[in-house]
Amino acid sequence: AQTVTQSQPEMSVQEAETVTLSCTYDTSESDYYLFWYKQPPSRQMILVIRQEAYKQQNATENRFSVNFQKAAKSFSLKISDSQLGDAAMYFCAATTSGTYKYIFGTGTRLKVLA
């Protein structure tokens, strides 16, 4: 079975600083995809970044980047130059090409301090 674990229920970061959110996953599939979603107070789910397991290069989207450690089954999200608008719940998610099911972690609440 697929599992996604986020062990940090809450994190805080000072504005303009860098923070890393942790995620570990478990799957027996070789073809899988990993995602980070952001859920601000509006509750809208917004895709932050996506990583294909077959790609060795870590995905990057502006201030957001991932550290994908395939052997350790780790998929952490790094937010650089944190902004007040980054405050939100962040969910890690995984899916495989065969199951069509997305499995979400329990989320990490990020607070950004001015």
Partner 1 sequence: DSGVTQTPKHLITATGQRVTLRCSPRSGDLSVYWYQQSLDQGLQFLIQYYNGEERAKGNILERFSAQQFPDLHSELNLSSLELGDSALYFCASSVLGAVNEQFFGPGTRLTVL
- Torsions phi, psi of 51, nearest 5? -135, 125
- Torsions phi, psi of 56, nearest 5? -80, -25
Exactly one of 82, 105, 110, 112 binds partner 1 (CB under 8 A); which one? 105
Q: Which of residues 73-102 bind partner 1 (CB under 8 A)?
A: 91, 93, 95-97, 99-102
Q: What is the largest CA-CA distance in the chain?
A: 44
Question: Which phi-psi region, left, alpha or beta, contains residue 43 (left: φ > 0; alpha: ψ -120 to 50)?
Answer: left
Our finding on whether 64 is near partner 1 (CB under 8 A) is no
Exactly one of 11, 74, 104, 111 binds partner 1 (CB under 8 A); which one? 104
Residues that bind partner 1 (CB under 8 A): 33, 35, 42-47, 50, 91, 93, 95-97, 99-107
